Amino acid sequence: MKFELHRGRGVGNTGVSPFMHCLRGLACLGGIAILLAGCRLDMHIQPKYLPYEPSNFFNDGRSERPVVPGAVARGQLHTDELLYTGRENGVVSDKFPFPMTRADLERGRERYNIYCTPCHDYTGNGQGMIVQRGFPPPPSFHLDSLRQAPAGHFFEVITNGFGSMYSYAARVEPEDRWRIAGYIRALQLSQHAILQDVPESDRAKLTENQTKAQGHAAAQP
């Protein structure tokens, strides 16, 4: 017989018939495959909730449970009236609950640019991209009425919304709301600044730019 299985190597020595070996191999492979498949599901989809995962245990289908009304988490008892409501003794306050440092204003600018510019635009003139697409225009921050509004008013508007503007309380922390209010103040100043507001040391820079601009304009035919 010229056609034979090479029984000698490995398999034959163990005294297991090739047929059985084959069967075992298959069984092993099959078993591993089944086990692997089992493992995949077990470990890939574990019996735990990930953020936002739906649940069929609770009636509303949400795995994250709303806080029981009236419950206060440790460290969440908001007793500081000014910091959390923008008011003092019930009156809208013009004071900031903490001093506005440069870092606070930088943070305020960042938050303002994320959450407010779509409508109020980068300078606060109320002509943002969404307004250009048909959103009712908000008032400019440079109107006298808003320049005279107390800082707490901006805090309140972000917290509670105003007219057709929704509340941003869910997305902007109270401290950041104050920083945005501080930044709006800075914006308001920037649009109404006079030369005397600029530190003496920096005034030369302004005139420098001016002469450059004039030189440029003169060069145009």
Partner 1 sequence: MAQIFHHSTNVLSRLSIYGGVFIVALLGAALYEIELSPWYTDVHVSREQPVPFSHKHHAGELGIDCRYCHTSVEKSSFAGVPPTQTCMTCHSQIWTNSAMLEPVRASYRDDKSISWTRVNALPDFVYFDHSIHVSKGIGCTTCHGQIAEMPLTYRAGTLYMSWCLDCHRQPEKYVRPKSQVFNPNYQVPDNQEQLGRELVKEYKIQSLQNCSVCHR
Residues engaged in binding ligand HEC (CB under 6 A): 40, 115-116, 118-120, 130, 133, 135-136, 138-139, 154, 157-158, 162-165, 168, 172, 180
151-160 and 174-191 are packed helices; what angle lies between their axes, rounded to 10 degrees? 130
Q: Are 52 and 61 in contact (CB under 8 A)?
A: no
CB of 158 to partner 1, least distance (A): 12
Which residues are 62's β-sheet partners? 54
Q: 86 is written with which tokens? A: 């923008």
Q: Which is nearer to ligand HEC, 12 or 118 (CB)?
A: 118
- Which helix (H) or strand (E) segment holds residue 174: the answer is helix 174-191
Residue 171 site contact among partner 1, ligand HEC, none (CB < 5 to 8 Å, cut-off depends on kind): partner 1
Q: Which is nearer to ligand HEC, 109 or 120 (CB)?
A: 120
CB of 68 to partner 1, least distance (A): 18
SS3 173: coil
Which residues bind to partner 1, rule: CB under 8 A? 1-3, 43-46, 48, 50-52, 54, 61-62, 113-115, 118, 129-130, 133-136, 164-166, 168, 170-171
CB of 134 to ligand HEC, least distance (A): 7
CB of 62 to partner 1, least distance (A): 7
* Structural Rg of the chain based on CA atoms: 34
Q: 121 is written with which tokens? A: 């635009």
Residue 150 site contact among partner 1, ligand HEC, none (CB < 5 to 8 Å, cut-off depends on kind): none
Nearest to 158 by CA among 179, 127, 137, 139: 179
